[in-house]
Amino acid sequence: MGTKKRSSPTETTELLLPERQVDTRLNLPPLYTVYLLNDDYTPMDFVVEVLMRYFLMDHAVATQVMLQIHQKGRANCGLYTREIAETKVVQVNEYARRSQYPLLCGMIESGAE
């Protein structure tokens, strides 16, 4: 992903700040990768539709990501803060179940993959 260092002011570099200098670094929230898993039953077109609808991909990108899942077993679909990631997971899994497909969406803290 990006190159911004996700350091925290509580790390040991804090101890190196001269007196009266203010630590202006932001405390960044943890990020979560949302992924889709492959299965043998969900139609490819349905997965492409999910990627477009919930992960805002255009048709060409969604098709590439769907094929990556189909060939490798899973693919990352987006990186979000915890509540947004949780919402995507619930929305995708509910939509898949409502449509009677076994498609599975999950999330994992970024860096723990």
Binding site for ligand TYC (CB under 6 A): 36-40, 42-44, 47, 66, 69-70, 103
Which residues touch 95 (CB under 8 Å, ≥6 apart)? 50, 53, 54
User: Which residue lies nearer to ligand TYC by CB, 42 or 80?
Assistant: 42
Q: Report the residue number, 29 or 43, with the smaller CB distance to ligand TYC.
A: 43
Least Å distance, CB 70 to ligand TYC, is 4
- Residue written as token pair 């992924």: 35
Q: Residue 85 or 103: which CB sits closer to ligand TYC?
A: 103
The strand order across the sheet containing 104-109 reads: 74-81, 31-37, 104-109
